[in-house]
Every structure is written in structure tokens, then in C-alpha cells.
Amino acid sequence: MTVPPPEASSSARRAPRDSYDVAVVGGGIAGMGAALAAAKRGESVVLFERTPKARGASVRNFGMIWPVGQPAGRARSLALRSRAIWKELAQAGDFDCTPCGSLFAAYREDEAAVMREFLSGSAAEGLDAEWLSPEETLKRSPRANPEGLIGGLFSAAECGVHPPSAIAGVRAALEQQYGVTFREGTPVVAVDSGRVTIAGGETIAAQRIIVAGGAEAASLFPAEHAAEAMVKCKLQMLETAPLEGGGEAGAEPFGPHLAGGLTLRHYKSFAACPSQPALAARVAAEAPELDRFGVHVMAAETPWGSLILGDSHEYGDDVSPFDSAEIDALILRELRPMLSLPSWEIARRWHGVYLKHPTELFLAKPVAEGVTLFNGFGGNGMTLALGAAETLFEPPAVASTTGDEPTDEIPIPSVAPRSDAPRSESMTSAPQTALTGFPR
Ligand SMILES: Cc1cc2nc3c(=O)[nH]c(=O)nc-3n(C[C@H](O)[C@H](O)[C@H](O)COP(=O)(O)OP(=O)(O)OC[C@H]3O[C@@H](n4cnc5c(N)ncnc54)[C@H](O)[C@@H]3O)c2cc1C
């Protein structure tokens, strides 16, 4: 059995300076994506993370890099670009980014209808996706439950990472290969044009500042955040005990990310399928509790043979900080007909919170000269943020926060590394002026 890898060490830590080209607030995937994009342009970069290690949504998710959930067009292109950057980072940061693909298993005719419609038009553009018979589905995933299986939609485009390991690996790559300075355990208490102030009062100068504070970002620029009407969402998650070596599936690899019919209601990439509204209406009538807690179910493999299971969606600022046993039971109730597991022993439970923009794929909002809020990815930050971060540094005519479709999910209810770091042949410096050209 594979043992969970240690989190990255901080051995390459650089002495902090008092001035950088770019300062980033937030050490989740959005902040690290911004740091990477700037460092590739030859900028000196400092990243502030208020906790000793990133502990936000970026380490609490499934680790699905999930182009199939993004509508064809700009959103999917950003997802595919992010996937390419993940692959580069996995090499540089020595962590796994597995090209596992994704499988939607169909157990009802209306689910199969939506999947076939998805495949028949342009919705599956860029994915290398196909319809599978029940036998082919089971060959792709020994964890799919054969009982009542009608078939499956397989997409080859998706990759999987183990979030805590991957975030630690990205951090290591940024520090060691791209010369980014990390200041962890360092809350930023104020941001002004050209200047970041940290707890204790020290100020650090930076020409460009990216504020990527995730769900708790609103303590900086509260009015500007409020104007965007972004919504917090709490998601409950579970992880099984390691499954290797037991039951029918034996030591077979889990294979692709698994999802089912409920997920077809959740992602906007399926919204244009003619049968999707009827499927959503059927679920709403049969099991209204699923809509009440925003439950749709998915499963992702970890490197040590356990499955990360989820999830629920509770929106707003007044969601309970405590986890609900009822929600966990609903998630497991919906997964049982879809998965054939040797054991349903649950080893861990947790929740994560993200911030979702109501209409855009993400927020890239200038709030002062040289200061940009970068946030609001909703359930898609692992899929979109690395590609999106590059657009922060593009000229205004090119940069955009919107996809061809306004958002990815069903609407919410109610370069050159630093000169002191190893240089890669494929990276080039960009002119300094590019830093002032960000989306408006
Ligand atoms: C349960 C769950 C499952 C998900 N599954 C997936 C998935 O499979 N695929 C996918 O694409 N997306 C998924 N997502 C969404 C994805 O995880 C998020 O969109 C993404 O992680 C958001 O990244 P972030 O950097 O904006 O926020 P975070 O990861 O929350 O990072 C923000 C960081 O900023 C720091 N910070 C905040 N304020 C300050 C300050 N003042 N000073 C210093 N530091 C500060 C915080 O401490 C935090 O570490 C999931 C999310 C959840 C919660």
C-alpha cells in the first residue's frame, strides 16, 4: 500500500525582502496560480498565507481537474490550459497528476439520455468522450456497481491529484523552481496601491498585488467584495478507509473519477441537453431532500486506495459551522447504488467552504491601481485557476473572466524563473508593462 507522501519542506526558503514586483495574498490554488504566472514572466514574487500551510478549499476538495464540467468554449479551454499547467507543476513539484479520465454511470433511462445528448452535439468538444456499454463501463471502473447499470459516459480529459499533496508540491515547485518567496503564518491586514501591510505592522512594497484569499477574503476590500454578491458555499466530504486488497475489486486501480445521474443536474456543461430539465424535475419530485442540501455524488481515488466521496452544497453566510449527519447519510445513500465497494468504512469526514461568483467563471477585479481581487471560482478552482491566473497578466483586450457560457454550474439557489532560481529553456521574460494590463 502506498503511504501518503510528506508535505513539502521549506528548506529552500529565501530571506524576505521589503520590495517585490508582485505580492500575492493567499496560498490556495488561485494565489499560487497567480504567483506562478507572474514568476514565469520574470517578476519577483512574494506570497503571503495567513496559516502555517494552506488549509482552505484547495486542500479540502476531490482533486478533480474536470474539463467535462465546463461548458465548451472559453471555460473548457481554460480548463484544458489549467490541466497542461498542472502537468508541468506535477513534474516540477514531484507529485502525481494522473490522467484518469472521468466516468458517469447511468442507472436510469433519463440519465443515459442526457449522456447521449451530451455526446451527440458540440457539448463534448475537446474531451475525447464516448458512450460505453455496461461491460465497457465495468472494464473502465471496477468500482462501478454492475446491478442495474445501463452504460456510461467516459471522458478521457480529466486528471486527478491528491489535494494536500498537490498543493504542497505546487508550493515546493514555486519556491524551488520559480524563486517565489513564501511568507506563511503571515496574515495580510491591509492592501493599498503599491503596499501590503502584514499583522504586526510591517509593510512590503509591490508594484502589483493579487488578493486571492478564498472564502475569507472579504476582510480586505469588504465593499468591493460585497458589490460582486459572491456567495459562500459549504460542502461536506468523506473518505473511505483504504480499499486495496479486499472484496470483488481486489487490488485493481479505481480508475476514472466516478459520477452519476445526480451530477448531470449540477454542472452547466449538461444544461443544454434537451432531457436534462426532465431529469432534474424527476429527482426534485422523488427526493426533494437532495435539492435542499445540494447533494450530488462523486468519488475520486487517492494514491493509497481510499476514495474521497461527496458532496453537498449549502449556500450563504449563515450555514452551520457543524457538520450534519443527515447530509453524510444522504451522500452515502446516493453513492451505494452506484459503487461496488468491499467496505464502506469511513475513515475521515470534513467540510470545505468556497466563494462563488453569481454570474462569472471567476472574479478578476481591479480595486485600486495595481491591485486585483482574484476569487470566486466556486466548485471549479482546481480546474480553472491555473489557466485563469495567466489571464491576469494578459493585455486588457485579451483578458476576460467570462466563458461563452456565463458560469459553469447550475445557478446558485436563492516564463523566466527568478535569476537566482534554475532557468528553464522554454520560459521567456515578458515586458514589465504587461503587468498593468489586467481585466477591467
Ligand atoms: C469540498 C470541495 C470539493 C471541491 N472539489 C473540487 C474539484 O474536485 N475540482 C475543482 O476544480 N474544484 C473543486 N473545488 C473548488 C476548489 O477547491 C476551489 O475553487 C479552490 O480551492 C479555491 O481556491 P482559492 O485559492 O480561491 O481559495 P483557498 O484554497 O481557500 O485559499 C485561500 C487562502 O487565502 C488565505 N488567506 C485568506 N485571507 C488572507 C489574508 N488576509 N492574509 C493571508 N492569507 C489569507 C487562506 O488562509 C487560504 O489558505 C472543491 C471545493 C470544495 C470546498
The CATH number assigned to the domain holding 136 equals 3.30.9.10
CB 64 within 8 A of CB 160: yes
Distance between CA atoms of residues 194 and 186, nearest Å: 18
Residues 307 and 246 in one domain: yes
CB 80 within 8 A of CB 66: no
State which of 36, 62, 386 you would mutate to test the pocket of ligand 1, scoring each by most atoms of that ligand within 8 A of its C-beta. 62
Range of the domain at 391: 19-60+163-227+360-436
Kindly state whether residue 7 falls inside one of the protein's structural domains: no
Residues 283 and 417 in one domain: no
Residues 318 and 429 in one domain: no
DSSP H stretches of helix in 156-256: 163-178, 222-227
Residues 146 and 126 in one domain: yes
Residues 206 and 264 in one domain: no
H-run or E-run covering 285: helix 276-286
Residues 141 and 279 in one domain: yes
Radius of gyration of the chain measured on its C-alpha atoms: 21
Residues 387 and 324 in one domain: no
pLDDT in tens, the chain (440 residues): 333 333 434 445 667 789 999 999 999 999 999 999 999 999 999 999 999 999 999 999 999 999 999 999 999 999 999 999 999 999 999 999 999 999 999 999 999 999 999 999 889 998 999 999 999 999 999 899 999 999 999 999 999 999 999 999 999 999 999 999 999 999 999 999 999 999 999 999 999 999 999 999 889 999 999 999 999 999 999 999 998 643 334 444 558 999 999 999 999 899 999 999 999 999 999 999 999 999 999 999 998 889 999 999 999 999 999 999 999 999 999 999 999 999 999 999 999 999 999 999 999 999 999 999 999 999 999 999 999 999 999 876 544 555 544 445 555 544 333 334 333 322 222 222 222 222 22
User: Of 322, 356, 390, at which residue does a domain stop?
Assistant: 356
Is the CB of 380 within 6 Å of ligand 1?
Answer: yes
Kindly state whether residue 240 falls inside one of the protein's structural domains: yes
Residues 147 and 167 in one domain: no
User: Of 333, 356, 379, at which residue does a domain stop?
Assistant: 356
Kindly state whether residue 194 falls inside one of the protein's structural domains: yes
User: Of 324, 356, 388, at which residue does a domain stop?
Assistant: 356
Closest CA to 112 of 78, 141, 151, 81: 151
Distances in whole angstroms, Cα of residue 428 to Cα of each of 44, 263, 324, 410, 416: 14, 41, 50, 39, 5
State which of 7, 25, 58 you would mutate to test the pocket of ligand 1, scoring each by most atoms of that ligand within 8 A of its C-beta. 58
pTM for the model: 0.88
- Which residue type occupies 419? S
